[in-house]
Chain A
Amino acid sequence: MSALNKKNSSNRSQTEPAFVRWLLIAIAMSFLTLFLALPLAAVFGQAFEKGLTVYLDAIREPDTLSSIKLTLITAAVTVPLNLFFGVTAAWAIAKFSFPGKNLLITLIDLPFSVSPVISGFIYVLIFGLQGWLGPWLQEHDIKIVFAVPGIILATLFVTFPFVARELIPLMEAQGKEEEEAALVLGATGLQTFFLVTLPNVKWGIIYGVILCNARAMGEFGAVSVVSGHIRGMTNTVPLHVEILYNEYNYSAAFAVASLLAFLALITLAVKSVAEWKVRQQFENN
């Protein structure tokens, strides 16, 4: 009965008068329009301001294409690594209890609270010319900072927690009864994981991966510190946007930026679906 009552609670006495409701909705929507919808519209507006040809030319330009390639490579390396880490960490943390668990969770979240500039800077301190390993690396002619490996390392750092922090609470909430049931029925550890655990957290993984990917492709601050900004070599898409913008080539800057904005929209769409699926799964249980 109470479920029925809640669904039909529109006439319940516990709500604000209609004009207050609409006033609050109006204020909230104005705020969101000003801060979210307007900038989003502006990216695409500016990108197509000078017409489709200018837009396409900006994107087909070799430096842009090479920056897209580098960004895709970076994401292709960092996302799987952090996915593997996230799943492993979630298994250890969610399914077992051990001393220091809360500390470990806090440490995993650490990269979120560190400024992106510092995230890049620490790798310069280690691998840079004046860094710990700098002289040795130079002797052996290995370039990490101001080269692709540095970009990948900095991106690994900033996207480190995404998958893990989505999966840990999800797997904790699901408990370990199903896994125990599978083991009792004779499944091996890996069978249990792939046949029981993984299907249950599928949407949580998708959610974590899509956010991890968005950050990997869009990271600016950390990558900016370690990249060295060599056009056509160590420029990712966000860095290329910065260069174009600073050269007052606004149309091209926004054209390239619109690719990233488009990625953001896809991310939001997939995120909404994944969130909805996770919620549904919980309600069905």
Chain B
Amino acid sequence: MSIEIQHINKQFGDFTALSDVSVTIPSGELVALLGPSGCGKTTLLRIIAGLETADNGRILFNGEDTTASHVRERRVGFVFQHYALFRHMTVFDNVAFGLNVRPKSTRPSKGEIREKVMKLLSLVQLDAMAGRYPSQLSGGQRQRIALARALAVEPQVLLLDEPFGALDAQVRAELRRWLRRLHDEIHVTSVFVTHDQEEALEVSDRIVVMNKGRIEQAGTPDQVYEHPANPFVINFLGNVNLFHGRLSQQDAEQHGPVEDAVSYVRSHDIEIDRKQQDSTSLRAEITNIQKLGPTVRVTLAIAGNSKCVEAELTRDLFQNLGLQSGEAVFVRPRQVRVFVEDYQI
């Protein structure tokens, strides 16, 4: 089931949540809506579900216009950030809910419901918990139950609103890997909202980066990371350093001297050396060293530049170089992206 989003607009009073958003979500993919809070990603997800109505624009499921159809008829599975499990029902009854509320004519028999619910519970590896109440489960378990409940109605699309947002770091990492494996098994078109770039890069087939109600870029994780469309995208995905003006003579020659150009270099693309390599090397002084487990973050003050630069290198490399705080070194950007307003070189 593919989802086409065409020219969606949404206002909340004076606040523009979405402005002219168009994007296509291919069938069977797991797509991340990535952006800072307030960027409209949750609103877009709720509009796809039918929980919110767009001011104008259309949503097509497999080419069919669903804009006018009610949430109940869209057959979407929705997983909420805070699970929204029914507290007064057991895990089993929660998962069975969507089947139990069907009209008599299409409702499966008790036995069929039981079989299906147990199958789903084993899919989310919680078959032993069928008789428990949600309050007796951990956060990660609750979110898996919420997912099983959404899948029970055999949705055409699965929508997840910050599904791991309320969980602690370790459970979060575990659960997103598990979601990836689950998706490889069931292949239902899925959209999930996140503000965590790492999560989006790790889990999804495709990332839609949003900001201030607009789509900044849509593409595979590699495309978005390797070829960011604009400063916002490069800023949002990974740690990045800014340099005002051109960094290399070559760039300046090719495009002429433009004063308001900004160069972006990711922290791990900055090389540190004791000797000057070529014309792109800059003189700098190490002001701070932070060891962060497998990597080391080195803060450097560049001669003639008011801003500090952060470089990230592996622990091995750091030890081989034997860098000290206060030492004078040379830095050289390995890969530079220059943006002049909206134009990328």
Chain A positions within 8 Å of B, measured between CB atoms, are 1-2, 4-5, 7-8, 11-13
Contact sample, A vs B, 15 pairs, CB 8 Å cutoff: A1-B37, A1-B38, A1-B42, A1-B43, A2-B42, A4-B12, A5-B12, A5-B42, A5-B46, A5-B52, A8-B12, A8-B13, A11-B53, A12-B52, A13-B71
Closest B residue, CB atoms, query A8 = B12
Q: In the bound complex, what is the Cα–Cα distance between A7 and B40 (angstroms)?
A: 16
Interface set, chain B 246-265, CB cutoff 8 A to A:
none
Contact B53 A4 (CB under 8 A): no
How distant is the Cα of A5 from the Cα of B37 in the complex, in angstroms? 13
Q: Residues of A contacting B46 with CB < 8 Å?
A: 5
A1 cross-chain contacts in B, Cβ below 8 A: 17, 37-38, 40, 42-43
Contacts of A7 in B (CB 8 A): 12
Q: Name B residues whose Cβ lies closer than 8 Å to a Cβ of A.
A: 12-13, 15, 17, 37-38, 40, 42-43, 46, 50-53, 70-71
Main secondary structure of the interface of B (DSSP, over half): loop
Docked Cα-Cα span, A162 to B51, in Å, equals 44
Main secondary structure on chain A at its contact with chain B? helix
- Please report the number of residue pairs spanning A and B whose Cβ atoms sit closer than 8 angstroms: 26
List, in ascending order, chain A residues with CB within 8 A of B42's CB: 1-2, 5
What residues of A have a CB within 8 angstroms of the CB of B12 in the complex?
Answer: 4-5, 7-8
Whether A13 and B70, one on each chain, are in contact in the complex, defined by CB atoms closer than 8 angstroms, is: yes
Q: Closest residue to A1 on the B side, CB-wise?
A: B42
A1 to B195, CA, bound (A): 12
Q: Could you tell me if A4 and B15 are in contact, using CB atoms closer than 8 angstroms?
A: yes
Partner pick for A12 among B15, B37, B38, B51, CB 8 A cutoff: B51
Bound-state CA distance A1–B42 (Å) is 7
- With beta carbons under 8 angstroms apart, the residue of A2, A4, A12, A13 that contacts B17 is A4
Contacts of A13 in B (CB 8 A): 50-51, 70-71
Residue of A nearest to B50 (CB): A13
Give the 4 A-B CB pairs with smallest separation, nearest first: A1-B42, A8-B12, A4-B12, A13-B71
- Whether B71 pairs with A5 at a CB distance below 8 angstroms is no
In chain B, what residue has the closest Cβ to A7? Answer: B12
- Point out the residues of chain A lying under 8 angstroms from B70, CB to CB: 13
Q: Nearest-CB distance from B338 to chain A (Å)?
A: 33
Q: Which of A1, A2, A4, A5 has the most CB of B within 10 A?
A: A1
Q: Say how far B332's CB is from chain A's closest CB, in angstroms.
A: 42
**Docked CA distance A4–B13 (Å):** 10
Interfacial chain B residues near A11, Cβ < 8 Å: 52-53
**A2, B81: Cα distance in complex, Å:** 10
- From residue B210, how far is it (CB to closest CB) to chain A in Å? 12
Nearest Cβ on chain A to B297's Cβ, whole angstroms = 32
Q: A8 to B42, alpha carbons, bound, how many Å?
A: 14
Q: Which B residues are CB-close (under 8 A) to A2?
A: 42
Q: Which of B13, B43, B50 contacts A5 (CB 8 A)?
A: B43
With A and B bound together, what is the CA distance between A5 and B17 in angstroms? 10
Closest to B43 in A: A1
Residue of B nearest to A9 (CB): B52
Q: How far is the CB of B161 from chain A (nearest CB, A)?
A: 9
- Shortest C-beta distance, B150 to chain A (Å), equals 17
- Nearest CB of chain B from residue A79's CB, rounded to whole Å: 41
Q: Tell me, rounded to whole Å, the shortest Cβ–Cβ distance linking A11 to chain B.
A: 6
- Residues of chain A within 8 A (CB-CB) of B40 are 1
A4, B43: Cα distance in complex, Å: 10
Please give, as numbers and ranges, the residues of chain A lying within 8 Å of B71 by CB-CB distance.
13
Taken together as a complex, chains A and B put the C-alpha atoms of A8 and B53 apart, in Å, by 11
- Measured between C-beta atoms, what is the minimum distance from B151 to chain A in Å? 22
Alpha-carbon distance between A5 and B40 when the two chains are bound, in angstroms: 11
9 new A-B contacts, CB < 8 A, other than A5-B43, A8-B13, A11-B53, are: A1-B17, A1-B40, A1-B42, A2-B42, A5-B12, A5-B42, A5-B46, A13-B51, A13-B71
